[in-house]
Structure 1
Amino acid sequence: MSVRIADEAARVFADPSAYADEARLHAAMTHLRAHAPVSWVDVEGYRPFWAITKHADIMAIERDNAVFTNSPRPVLTTAEGDAQQAAMGVSTLIHMDDPQHRKIRSIGADWFRPKAMRALKVRVDELARDFVDQMFRRGGECDFVQEVAVNFPLYVIMSLLGIPESDFARMLTYTQELFGSDDTELQRGATMEERGLALFDMFTYFNEITAARRAQPTEDLASAIANARIDGEPLSDIDTVSYYLIVATAGHDTTSATISGGLHALIEHPDQLHRLQREPALLPLAVEEMIRWVTPVKEFMRTAQRDTVVRGVPIAAGESVLLSYPSGNRDEDVFTDPFTFDVGRDPNKHVAFGYGVHFCLGAALARMEINSFYAELLPRLTSVELAGTAEHTATIFVGGLKHLPIRYALTG
């Protein structure tokens, strides 16, 4: 029988404010990797779990998807939040395990393969140019997160889905409320019921999209989802809406966090900005470093289906583990100088997109968007600096900067 001594540092994983204070967060994670890489976390308001902080253990758990399943607890939320999601019947790809996961994932897989990405690149490059042009017209100062970074990937993923541009602002509000439910600036309201309305509103909206696409199919991803069949049967309403939900939210919030966090890193490391401008061939490596540095998805959960052991620590059947991606991406055993932002880092075996069967469906699109944006911005950027305080979202799931006031000069 194992003795479960909770390390106080591990409480950060259930503290949204910790993710808004990167110095505090990474200090705690560094301590845990060295002293308690598999740590028991028992915090009021949450069901207990084990925190996994080492890169190798995260990958091993993701690889062993028969023993460690996504269901019934795919992400960390409060005990009340767990109950609310179960009552609503949310069933996205991150809630599923094989064989259902494999079948449902296949619906959108072709839309994110290299051939589809090549076809989409022209549109992505056009949008990148448009948003950098908008920065130029703003006259040299903006909140880069709110005026640029959240909108560029939003336009890409909404265009892919076939959502009308008149609804883009509404979708942005919904997703910010959903992922910012722990942040007093972004959340819908103070109570769990009020915050749940953002999810309910998204469900209502996408139910209308489903009905429209089934009545009149179109050549977009929304139509492919609405008219998909699994084993000869159409998707249920909840599965259809859940698919829209994961594409619409994960398809832009994570990318916007990386684009804004990437610029913040370049501002804080001007030598790396100048290096990248001198050596534009480094951009693909720089994109991977931005993704590692920001790690917008903070965690996923897995639940043990039988008694097992992780790094010598017994994990009982039915117990949950939290996979800490920011910690894995600063693991000293994997990354040389992990707290150094290096646009030429190679190799860069980050786990920001997950690993194994649940590797991010939209990884290729995210990489292309970040690459396209910086390929447009960097040759035109002659100076950039902070014009205020950079602020991070309070979250325990997905997030990054919510404000990045900058002062800059661009060529036309």
Structure 2
Amino acid sequence: MRSVSTRTSRIPEEIGNLIASPQAYARQKQLLSAFRGLRESNPVGRVELEDFDPFWAVTRCADIVAVSRQHEIFHNGDRATALVPRATDEKVRALMRGSPHLIRTPVHMDAPEHPAYRAITQSWFTRQSVSTLEDRIRGVARHCLDRMSALGSECEFVHDVVRPFPLRVMLSILGIPQDDAPEVLALTEKFFQGQDEIDIADKASAKDPARHAKHLFHVLSEFRTYFKPLIEARLKAPRDDVITAIAHAKIDGTSIRSFEAISYLLILATAGHHTTSSSIAGGVWALCQHPNEFRKVAADRDLIPNLAEEAIRWTTPVQHFMRTAARDTELNGQRIAAGDWLMLCYLSGSRDEAVFDNPDCFCVDRSSEAAIAFGHGAHICLGRHLARLEMRIFFEEMFARIDRIELNGEPRRCASVFVGGPTYVPVRYNIVAA
């Protein structure tokens, strides 16, 4: 199951270590340079590391899109959908009776289950459906920016301002009480906690190779405790919300299991806000570093949709996804064997010179048509229309409030191979008089 075809272009071990290192994603400069070299000379390369099963690093945008669109060949469900050490995979399988997944959502499924489960909530996230939320989203954005104004001329943008914004929008769609936002946010922060933060919190387990799996298993049990009563309540008294849709969902006439229902709500509540807030924070970080781009948007607010797309590309909060070859195939001249594991390196694809002019420049007037951060094919991001709307509205309201913003310290990114983004963005700004 875990073989890699022998006719390969093996990636040097030091570069493989970068690709698998959480700290490399926090610092990025060396990693982005390594990705640039791979795109030039070894775009589908084999990585062999002592603590990981072998995998292919797919670094060009065109190859990432090709894999994403061939969901019948490259599966989500067969193995872990994020790069994990062998010890973590073994621990997860032990905990989950052989399954490589701690949760089971549409992200972890293939056809025919995937489209059936996706259809349960898809109508809630169409472009037309989310457009009806504009007034509600604008109200939440204004509330968050009121806090930014109340803090005077300095704040830490991630936690003081933006992190609660898309969460409160998502809670209203799901049907979760707004008073529960702090609890759900705390659980989400633990779910996406960087590897370095987990180590700091528990020094005794820092050398345990399966520590991340144990950490996630504990967090998931807390999510189950939270969501189970909500599902039970909707089964007794349905409402017009996503919890009700999931609680009453049936596949081929049979109600979905509690495990899948809770998993579904978990992924919507976490990924549905963390990636959007990270993209906004990444965009603000970039605007501080490129004041001329800030001035462009301030002078022409029609650039805000482009700013949102560029912030997503620049930040790339979902930094990779894994796929598993269901049969022997070929990708960019490399023979891929059935069972091979492939890493779709979105962080690399978002800087692909073949797609983006001057990809290492942050440009608010860049054409955004080829962006890959939301994925392609059957597994394209369910919430992409909502995320774009939220970002557009937030930036519209932000540019109506401030006429200058700059860094007020050294920002930091999350040390995580899978879902990353800014964790600390200290800023100084000038509030425009009302």
Normalising by the residue count of structure 1, what TM-score does the alignment of the two structures yield?
0.96
The answer as to whether partners of 2:322 and 2:343 remain within 8 angstroms in 1 is: yes
Matches within 5 A, 1:265-344: 265-344=286-365
User: Is the 1:142–1:406 Cα contact (8 Å) retained in structure 2?
Assistant: yes
Alpha-carbon shift at residue 187 of structure 1 (Å): 7.7
Paired residues of 1:188 and 1:195 also in contact (CA < 8 A): no
The alignment yields a C-alpha RMSD, in angstroms, of 1.6
Q: Given the superposition, is the C-alpha separation of residues 187 and 49 from structure 1 closer, same or farther in structure 2, using an over 3 Å criterion?
A: farther
Q: CA deviation at 1:315?
A: 1.1
Aligned partners of 2:74, 2:340: CA distance in 1, in Å? Answer: 10
What residue is the counterpart of 1:2 in the other structure? 7
Task: Please state if 1:176 is matched with 2:155.
Answer: no
AA in 1 matched with 2:136: R
| Residues in 2 aligned to 1:244 and 1:204: alpha-carbon distance in whole angstroms | 12
- Structure 1 unaligned regions, length at least 5: none
Q: Deviations over 1:302-352 (max 9, x none)?
A: 101111111111111101100000101111111111111111111441100
Aligned residues of 2:163 and 2:274 also touching (Cα < 8 A): yes
The question of 1:367 aligning with 2:380 is answered: no
Matches of 1:195 and 1:300 in 2, distance apart? 18
2:159 aligns to what? 146
Partner of 2:379: 358
Amino acid at match of 2:276: T
Name the count of aligned residue pairs.
412
**Which of the numbers 365, 390, 394 marks the counterpart of 2:411?**
390
Alignment deviations for residues 79-127 of structure 1 (CA, whole Å, 9 cap, x no partner): 2332344434521111100110000000110100122112111100111
Letter aligned with residue 250 of structure 1: A
Cα distance between partner residues in 1 of 2:399 and 2:91:
44
Q: How does 1:8-407 map to 2 (within 5 A)?
A: 8-73=14-79, 74-86=81-93, 87-88=95-96, 90-184=103-197, 189=202, 190=205, 191-192=211-212, 193-407=214-428
Deviation at residue 141 of structure 1 after TM alignment: 1.0
- 8 Å CA contact 2:9, 2:42 repeated in 1: no
Unaligned runs of 5+ in 2: 1-5, 97-101, 206-210
* Distance (whole Å) between structure 2 residues aligned to residue 3 and residue 280 of structure 1: 49
Runs of 4+ aligned structure 1 residues displaced above 6 Å come to 185-188
C-alpha change, 1:173 and 1:188, in structure 2 (3 Å) is farther
Q: Distance in 1 between matches of 2:295 and 2:322?
A: 39
Deviations 1:212-248 (A, max 9, x none): 2112212211111111111111110111011101101
- TM-score normalised to structure 2 length: 0.91
What's the CA shift for 1:52?
0.2
Between the aligned partners of 1:221 and 1:187, the Cα distance in structure 2 is 36
Check conservation: 1:10, 1:39, Cα contact below 8 A. no
Q: Which amino acid aligns with 2:30?
A: R
Partners of 2:122 and 2:378 lie apart in 1 by 13
Q: 1:186 to 1:121 in 2, by over 3 A?
A: farther
Deviations 1:258-284 (A, max 9, x none): 010000011111000000110111111
Whether contact under 8 Å (1:37, 1:54) holds in the other structure is yes
Q: Matched residue of 2:354: which SS?
A: coil
